Structure 1
Amino acid sequence: MVSQGWIDYYNNFKLYFIISNRDFRANAGHQFQILATLCEQAQQTVNSALQVFLQRQFVSSQIISQELFRSQINESIERWKSNTLNSFLHLTQLIRVTNQGNQLINSFHNFYFYLDQISEQLIPVPANYSTCSCARSSACQIPMGIFVYNWTIFDYVELFRIPNFFTGCFLVESLLESTLECFYDHQCMNIIESYTSNTTTNFSLLDTTRNSPNETVQSIINRLMIDAWQSNISFSAYYKMCSPLSCTYEQTRRHDIVYLISSIFGLFAGLVFGIEILILIILRFIEKMVNDFSLIELKRRFKDLFICREEEQIINRCHFILLILTISLLYMATSLTLVAKTERVIKPSLFTYQYLLTNYQDSLQCSCSHISIEYQSFLTITSRIHQICSSDFVSNDWIDYIYNTIDPFHLNYTDFRTTATGQYQLLASFCQFSRQVLNDALSNLLTSHFIDTELLSYNVLYERIQSSLKEFQMAIPNSFLNSLSVIRETTGANMLMNTFMTSSEFQYETAFTMFSIFYTRPLSYEKCNCGLSSKCVQSSRGMMAGCYPLEALLQSTFQCFYNQTCIDSHNVFQALNISSSTSSQFLINSSIESILNKLMVEDYSINISYEKYFSHCEPLLCSYSYCGHRDILEMTLNIIGIYGGLVIIARFIVVFFLKLYLNKNQKVSPQKGET
């Protein structure tokens, strides 16, 4: 159906007789050419976007798990598909609305001309399909069929109707509303063939197992004409390209048997030695007290503790004092020294997490059980559009009012009212288009996933979302503005005519007696000629008139809409409220183009439900570190562990220094000889 042979088959059909513009044979070649172009553009869009996507770098400071890797790649793929689809649909939609607003002339489907005998000017008249006028809507359409002219009744008679296949003001509009069910049906194709050729064609039918015959072309376009997507994510290839140099890990486990045995022996030795000495002292003291127990004897025994008559007593008591002092100093030093402690909380509640965050903000870390969370599960974003988009001036009632009260085809081309219907249709379309672009972009953002292995605090989460929103605000208008710029330039460069005859006009010249010659002449606005620039405009009735309705609208302002006399002196529709403009980021005299550059958005508001974010994250474990004193049990066990060694070292020190002292102070008496 989109092959050149199929298109040529209908384009080469010889019309030897008068044929209706509703006839399938007159339109099929053009519509299948449009369908082929859409297929080609869809394929090119996907290929170009895919090439750019595959050239992107996957950046990560360290290798990530297979689950997280697949989650991030799938998230990127889904976002890429959505962006690619929206980009294609927005471009086609923008072309369609600007064509309608500019009322560009096509091959006598949306208008016809008649020659005014008095002024000798060609007057354009909008075409009507049933009760629908092409000046008001591009969606006017009627079914196509096979027609023959009946000379008896001087009208066309329908011989066969193509099921759900339409023609209208613009062939692309009617094609999108059509289905291809006839081309799934062998009988339908045979009937068409019988009216177009005496030979049998070799074109194959469409496959009903792949697509539904009742599906409209618009619904096919809405999925980029793609039946299914396939992707292959290779974690092994990613791991190979990453080629990690080293890996570190943390493991929580019980102490091994060697450590336990050595610790027990250390404690046992210290306890045995200490208890042995303590028991001996107690037994010796009890023995002496039992033999001679009295208060006076108790005092004497206590004094004897500090009276040393023998070297061994001095050593024992100095040893005891040094040992007590050493243990006390070690205990005090250990108790005063701050050490880093790490605590863990399993599956904390939100209240517990907030308490920990308040007290241990710098070291608190919580791992999420779900690393990928949809934004829309905890985030809402709303936008406020310029008040013109919610006013009566973009309603069908207003456009119908303008269309029914003004005859644009008998006004001077410099009068704004000539293109008023087209400009208001464009304004309404831009409001609708802005909302659609915003909704698609916000839907794309909110259905994407927020990926992070760690639970973030509210402030950090808010900053991350604000940063994403700023990127979102900057990126959204770019594609729209680029597409609009291309449309404006190509329309002007090709000097396409519109039915309002505001860019050029027909000049009538009778050169021969049998027929007349018409040629086009570019029009001028003040000192600007539409043949040199499509952006020529001229002020008219508070608005702008120009070569094209689109250019005139973009260079206008909304000032007239705030003035009742300017916008509607009959008071049928109320002007905009001037007080509402104080809350707008746009000035009253801002051009519509500058407002459209921001998609007519006044501001965005976001609402983050941290409770829902916490619930979806569902942290498994939180750990935090702090500096604190050792507990009594830990210090006691440590000192007991080194007690045996302290006893030996203390005794060695006492003996060494006592011997040194005694040797130094020992007096040697000299012997006196006889004289």
Structure 2
Amino acid sequence: MPILLLYTSLTNITRTVVVEKPTVETYLNLYSKYPQTLSCPCSTISINYGDILSIQYSFHQVCTSDFISKKWTNYLTIDYENTYLNVTDFRWIARQTFQTIRSFCELINTTLSNSLSQFYSKQYVSVNVVSLQMIQSQSHSSVSQFRSSTTNSFLFSLIKIRDIIHVNALFSAHMTNFDAILDHTFDDLVFVERTYGNCSCGVSPLCVIPSSIYDLSNTTVLFTVPGIYAGCYLIESTLQSTLECFYDQTCVDRIQSFSLSSQTVQITSLNQSFPSLYSVNSTVQQLIDQLMIEQWNASIVYSKYYAECSPLQCTYSYQARNDAIYIITTLVGLIGGLVTILKIVVPRFVKLIRRRRQRQILLEESSTRRSNGNFCFKINNLISTLNLFPSTPPTTNAYELRNQTLSTRLFLLSLFIIMTILLLYTSLVNITKTVIVKTPAVEKYLELYSQFPETLSCPCSAISISYGKFFLMNYTLHQVCSSDFVSDEWINYLTTHINFVWYLWNRLDFRLISGETFRGIKILCESLETTISQSLNQFYSNEYISGFLLPSGLLETQTKAFLAQFRTSTTNSYLVSLSLVRDTVQTNAVFSAKVTNYELFYHSDHVHMNTNSYDSCSCSLSSACIMQSSIYDDSNPNSIMFTVPGMYAGCYIIESLLASTLECFYNETCITQLQSFYQSNQTLRVTPLNSSFPSLYSVNSAMQVVINNLMIEEWNSMINYSSYFDECSPLQCTYSYQTRNDMIYIVTTLIGLVGGLITILKIVVPRSIQIIRGRKIETNSGELSLTLREHLKNFYEKFNLFPSIPPTTNDHELRNQKISTKLFVMLLILIVTILLLYTSLANITKTVVVEKPTVETYLNLYSKYPQTLSCPCSTISINYGDILSIQYSFHQVCTSDFIKLDWIYFLDFFQSPLYAHFKDFLLMGPQVFQGLRSFCLTIKAIIDNNIDKFYKNQYISAYVIPLNLFQSQVSLLNNQFRTSLIADYLLSLSLIHETTDGNALQSVQMTNYELYKRGDAISVRPSTYDNCSCTYSSSCLMQSAFYNYTNHTITFSVPGINVGCYFTEALLLSNLQCFYSKKCVNHLKSLYTWMGDIEISQIDTLSPSLYTINSSVQELINQLMIEEWNLNIMYNQYYSECSPLRCTYSYQARNDAIYIITTLVGLVGGLITILKIVVPRFVAVFRRYALRRSQVNP
């Protein structure tokens, strides 16, 4: 016992403490003391960033200054008709420059607002409560990623739009990139690239020179505006400009002194002493590169995070020694069995030691047989005389002796049988043995997985891991992207080495578009590389969610699936965004200065347009019209000298490029022959593309096919499993296998039970024998039977559990023995009764485990035990697409006859633009319905692509979510998705519109600016609509109508349809009321007198709709033209994916009979032993003390 006492009291143990429902203050206090071992599992492992994080930002002061106010931009507006200014004059570009800066401020603000909404709806995942320092660090990283991705996304969208403008050589009405020149030979307008310094806009759209203020009567520079540049495109020159002049009030006043406005305006300069991240000399591009942000403030509300995480308990551990209670209960649990065993073993061991050895060994065989016989006799005698229940004093009564002998044999037999059964059960029963391996290394895990793949389980300490921490993807672009054909030398060669005589050139001549074509290829390569790089960065920052360590094979399979999704979504996103820009350019009928889509001519001082056609395909109907591009004779523009294989010319250079192939540029002979038609003293050495190079594409693959695959030749992905393992960082692994109990368990189990069994058998067996063999006792007075009462009285008087050996006749000793017996029985009964009452009456929390519950079982249990039911998911991250589906339907115009090509062709048959008013519906009709068609098709592609991406997002839940909460969460996710989808689309439209308007791109139908002949030059003036000038606002509009050819009076106004500066803007502010009316549609058709009839059905007014007949197209677009958006929530599928292996629930109850009995049996042996030791001694001491007191005080 001292050894056990010392061992249990001195040994160091790891003590684990559980704190129920800890507050945030409790957690912080515990974390300060036990940072290494504290663990508080979150009841909610995924939390919206918006619930715990707040981001505030402030803009550069220019965004709140007078310089972007309407009073300033209106003040800068010039009278175009009565003023002639140099295109580099500050007054010519000033209004557009500051309108562009205002647009940037507004667009960036909208971008940030949309991006923040999406960021706030993302999930912060933590399986355990994360410390304040850690969550601050993680949040800082997330905010940095948010800033980076938002900035890159905005800049890339802007670059993509600018690139398409440059490639298509779209003409600015301010004539900053091309100069419009009159060709008196054919009464045509021809367009010559402007140069700034030694830089030609035909070579680069980035050409600029400092902007100045010139004398109106000559070209004398009166004042050069510091930091402001003029260049090919107004947005490009604005981005390269600085605001240094506008920090200086003197400079601002000097500019105002040269103003052509009759008004005066008070303008305050920017504050140079204002704290700023930027210098006075920072370019607008440098401001845009940082989203014009001065300061970011991200604050984490830790108390909100903790409340959302809502840990039900915390556990922590520390090194300590066993407490007194544990020591006592351990000793009590062991003492009964130890005492019993020692009482049996020790006497016999002592006898064996002290037995005298026989000094003589009988060698005779007979003596040996007698000795063996003597031994057998002794054994037999021992068995026949063994008595474990002797009476005190020893009896000579044959009946009592027989009872004692039978009791001994039954006791031994019963003990042997029970112990044999227990031994066989514990040694032969198959058990599932679970082994825990602490902090395994990756090598150990792989070894264990090879042996126990079915049962090995290693919970990750970090369940969310950024893909970039263990996954790397490389890619190879099409060889053209690294070839000489996208070099500046080649593009400059194609652009500058041509003998340009505009009136002799055929628009199909490859030399006219070759520079822009290869610049387009270069831009596509750069654009796609940027797209892939940004998408990869975004992918790398996404979280891979796994509650348990995955084997390498499964991880690789899942990652490959995610890679395939990434490639598809990136490709679709790029193609849709590209189509959106291309469609907007086509709808607005923006004029290409390369005269590829329309030709301009003048008549009676007015400029008119003719639509170009390619093989009977009109550019007013489709931007995809193309014809084979060739080299034409310089002196005879109709004579083909060389057809360039695979190359096409079309309405827009980007469109013809996408239809072209690169087959000529795989052939050195073709390249040499092509170069022979360029005017150069020497041929530029370029290396042909390698046709034998392994490729996914053929030599004849169209660029559109290549673009549809992001120009990728090969994807190479690599998973670093060791890094994944380190990030998962399992604290332990468990595995199980079928086996039998080991020897130590068997021995300890038997020792733990033997004491109680022996005690019970010693009580039960003798009495059972007495009952079975009971008989009447004859008395001296006769053969009268003793009554039960007399039996009990006699038993009570003689009952003595502490007889002395040999029996004493001392009255004092006998009295002590009887008092000890009574006290022993009383204490035993009292303690057992207390234990019985405690274990049977105490309320306990009973936990029930339900294995592999079905969804019906779960719902039934949740209805009964909503507060305590817990069902851990075996899969904690589930694709949205597996648990929900979205169905939608469009406004009926998107399935109507009005967006069909037959109707658009019907409207486009008008071929007399010379006599039509530029606001006539005859001219704008095709653009209206092309715009509607484009909206419908583009929006459908965007919705489908984004729904597909949405389906790939992860729904995270560590435990089964109740049906009502699941429905609420999924509905919220759906609403957030739809809101962000609408916001992103509207922002894209706004960015395209603001870029188009900022560059003052010319609509060929003169809807925004009117080109006209003034003397021997071409001038420009803004179009006006009901006294609203397009130079002030691109939203000017008026009702569209049909006009009389001769006097331009209105013959019919089309209800709801507007005409304005740009077709897209006017269309958005129009409504479709006319097309709900059969009468209006028929009247409209009747005005096309030169056309036959066409079957057309009006929009159904009786069809249920969210919109009214008078709803504007903008109102339809604001809801993505959606009529119905149906969300189907699949809870059963969610439950199946979550796949809980078990559910646990708890309730208040009392201990059952089995538990009570086993508890009492486990304690009674030790209690009896202790009481047998303590009680007699206590009685002896107490009576001795009482006797002395009575002797002292007679």
Pair 1:486–1:374, CA change in 2 (3 A) = closer
Q: Residue 689 of structure 2 aligns with which residue?
A: 576
Instruction: State how far apart, in whole Å, the 2-side matches of 1:59 and 1:47 are.
Output: 20
CA-CA distance at 1:112 after TM superposition: 1.4
Structure 2's unaligned 5+ residue stretches are 1-66, 362-367, 386-401, 630-643, 676-684, 775-1194
Pair 1:647–1:421, CA change in 2 (3 A) = same
Matches for 1:488-503 after TM superposition, within 5 Å: 488-503=582-597
Instruction: State how far apart, in whole Å, the 2-side matches of 1:628 and 1:309 are.
Output: 42
Instruction: State how far apart, in whole Å, the 1-side matches of 2:345 and 2:296 are.
Output: 83
The answer on whether the counterparts of 1:384 and 1:601 sit within 8 Å (CA) in structure 2 is yes
Instruction: State how far apart, in whole Å, the 2-side matches of 1:88 and 1:51 are.
Output: 16
The answer on whether the counterparts of 1:399 and 1:425 sit within 8 Å (CA) in structure 2 is yes
Question: Residue by residue, what CA displacement relative to the aligned partner does 1:79-113 show, whole Å, maximum 9, x if unpaired?
Answer: 44444323321221011111111001112111113
Matches for 1:63-142 after TM superposition, within 5 Å: 65=130, 77-106=143-172, 107-142=174-209
Instruction: State how far apart, in whole Å, the 1-side matches of 2:195 and 2:235 are.
Output: 17
**Mapped pair 1:536 → 2:619:** no
Q: Residue 207 of structure 1 aligns with which residue?
A: 271
Q: Which amino acid aligns with 1:45?
A: T
Instruction: Calculate the TM-score normalised by the size of structure 2.
Output: 0.50
Question: Residue by residue, what CA displacement relative to the aligned partner does 1:203-251 show, whole Å, maximum 9, x if unpaired?
Answer: 222233223212111111122222233344445446656778x669797
Which secondary structure does the structure 2 equivalent of 1:160 belong to? Answer: strand
Number of residue-to-residue matches in the alignment: 651
**Identity of matched residues, %:** 32
Which secondary structure does the structure 1 equivalent of 2:294 belong to? Answer: coil
Q: Residue 666 of structure 1 aligns with which residue?
A: none
Question: Residue by residue, what CA displacement relative to the aligned partner does 1:251-283 show, whole Å, maximum 9, x if unpaired?
Answer: 799877545433322322212112212334455
Instruction: State how far apart, in whole Å, the 2-side matches of 1:451 and 1:622 are.
Output: 18
The answer on whether the counterparts of 2:419 and 2:750 sit within 8 Å (CA) in structure 1 is yes
The answer on whether the counterparts of 2:336 and 2:756 sit within 8 Å (CA) in structure 1 is no
The range that moved more, 257-266 or 39-48, is: 257-266
Pair 1:286–1:301, CA change in 2 (3 A) = farther
**Mapped pair 1:159 → 2:222:** yes
The answer on whether the counterparts of 1:87 and 1:479 sit within 8 Å (CA) in structure 2 is no
Instruction: State how far apart, in whole Å, the 2-side matches of 1:406 and 1:656 are.
Output: 126
The range that moved more, 191-200 or 415-424, is: 191-200
Question: Residue by residue, what CA displacement relative to the aligned partner does 1:366-425 show, whole Å, maximum 9, x if unpaired?
Answer: 566667765444432211111221222222222223223445744322344432222211
The answer on whether the counterparts of 1:71 and 1:372 sit within 8 Å (CA) in structure 2 is no
Question: Residue by residue, what CA displacement relative to the aligned partner does 1:453-480 show, whole Å, maximum 9, x if unpaired?
Answer: 7555433443453344333223323433
Which of structures 1 and 2 has the larger relative contact order (alpha carbons within 8 angstroms, sep 6+)? 1
Structure 1's unaligned 5+ residue stretches are 664-675
The range that moved more, 519-528 or 419-428, is: 419-428
Matches for 1:530-569 after TM superposition, within 5 Å: 530-540=619-629, 541=644, 542-569=646-673
The range that moved more, 404-413 or 126-135, is: 404-413
1:397 aligns with one of 462, 475, 489 = 489
Q: Which amino acid aligns with 1:523?
A: N
CA-CA distance at 1:365 after TM superposition: 4.8
Which secondary structure does the structure 2 equivalent of 1:575 belong to? Answer: coil
Instruction: State how far apart, in whole Å, the 2-side matches of 1:598 and 1:14 are.
Output: 47
The answer on whether the counterparts of 1:103 and 1:500 sit within 8 Å (CA) in structure 2 is yes
Question: Residue by residue, what CA displacement relative to the aligned partner does 1:409-445 show, whole Å, maximum 9, x if unpaired?
Answer: 4432234443222221111101011111212222333
Instruction: State how far apart, in whole Å, the 2-side matches of 1:316 and 1:263 are.
Output: 31
Pair 1:648–1:132, CA change in 2 (3 A) = same
Q: Which amino acid aligns with 2:523?
A: S
**Mapped pair 1:301 → 2:412:** no
Instruction: State how far apart, in whole Å, the 2-side matches of 1:379 and 1:58 are.
Output: 21
Q: Residue 190 of structure 1 aligns with which residue?
A: 253
Instruction: State how far apart, in whole Å, the 2-side matches of 1:149 and 1:281 are.
Output: 132
Instruction: Calculate the TM-score normalised by the size of structure 1.
Output: 0.84
CA-CA distance at 1:538 after TM superposition: 1.7
Q: Which amino acid aligns with 2:534?
A: D
The answer on whether the counterparts of 2:472 and 2:719 sit within 8 Å (CA) in structure 1 is yes
The range that moved more, 444-453 or 461-470, is: 444-453
Q: Residue 599 of structure 2 aligns with which residue?
A: 505
The answer on whether the counterparts of 1:267 and 1:637 sit within 8 Å (CA) in structure 2 is no
Q: Which amino acid aligns with 1:114?
A: I
Instruction: State how far apart, in whole Å, the 1-side matches of 2:308 and 2:346 are.
Output: 70
Pair 1:63–1:353, CA change in 2 (3 A) = closer
Which has the larger Rg? 2
Q: Residue 352 of structure 1 aligns with which residue?
A: 444
Q: Residue 633 of structure 1 aligns with which residue?
A: 744
**Mapped pair 1:227 → 2:294:** yes
The range that moved more, 249-258 or 324-333, is: 249-258
The answer on whether the counterparts of 1:102 and 1:550 sit within 8 Å (CA) in structure 2 is yes
The answer on whether the counterparts of 2:127 and 2:463 sit within 8 Å (CA) in structure 1 is no
Pair 1:470–1:64, CA change in 2 (3 A) = farther
Q: Residue 522 of structure 1 aligns with which residue?
A: 611
The answer on whether the counterparts of 1:72 and 1:451 sit within 8 Å (CA) in structure 2 is no
Q: Residue 473 of structure 1 aligns with which residue?
A: 567
Matches for 1:596-635 after TM superposition, within 5 Å: 596-615=707-726, 619-635=730-746
**Mapped pair 1:276 → 2:340:** no
Which secondary structure does the structure 1 equivalent of 2:96 belong to? Answer: helix
The answer on whether the counterparts of 1:263 and 1:641 sit within 8 Å (CA) in structure 2 is no
CA-CA distance at 1:532 after TM superposition: 2.0
Instruction: State how far apart, in whole Å, the 2-side matches of 1:653 and 1:285 are.
Output: 31
Which secondary structure does the structure 1 equivalent of 2:220 belong to? Answer: strand
The answer on whether the counterparts of 1:289 and 1:298 sit within 8 Å (CA) in structure 2 is no
**Mapped pair 1:175 → 2:238:** yes
Instruction: State how far apart, in whole Å, the 1-side matches of 2:300 and 2:698 are.
Output: 51
CA-CA distance at 1:174 after TM superposition: 1.1
Instruction: State how far apart, in whole Å, the 1-side matches of 2:753 and 2:438 are.
Output: 35
The answer on whether the counterparts of 1:331 and 1:639 sit within 8 Å (CA) in structure 2 is yes
Instruction: State how far apart, in whole Å, the 2-side matches of 1:144 and 1:594 are.
Output: 43
Instruction: State how far apart, in whole Å, the 1-side matches of 2:613 and 2:246 are.
Output: 49
RMSD: 3.8
The range that moved more, 445-454 or 350-359, is: 445-454
Instruction: State how far apart, in whole Å, the 2-side matches of 1:518 and 1:269 are.
Output: 116
Which secondary structure does the structure 2 equivalent of 1:414 belong to? Answer: coil
The range that moved more, 493-502 or 257-266, is: 257-266
1:335 aligns with one of 408, 416, 427 = 427
Instruction: State how far apart, in whole Å, the 1-side matches of 2:140 and 2:544 are.
Output: 13
Instruction: State how far apart, in whole Å, the 1-side matches of 2:623 and 2:440 are.
Output: 66
Instruction: State how far apart, in whole Å, the 2-side matches of 1:352 and 1:74 are.
Output: 35
CA-CA distance at 1:525 after TM superposition: 0.7
Q: Which amino acid aligns with 1:583?
A: S
Matches for 1:387-466 after TM superposition, within 5 Å: 387-407=479-499, 409=502, 410-446=504-540, 455-466=549-560
Question: Residue by residue, what CA displacement relative to the aligned partner does 1:312-353 show, whole Å, maximum 9, x if unpaired?
Answer: 556545644654454344334323334444444444433334
The range that moved more, 117-126 or 217-226, is: 117-126
Which secondary structure does the structure 1 equivalent of 2:102 belong to? Answer: helix
Q: Which amino acid aligns with 2:270?
A: L
Q: Which amino acid aligns with 1:305?
A: I
CA-CA distance at 1:149 after TM superposition: 5.7
Q: Residue 87 of structure 2 aligns with which residue?
A: 21
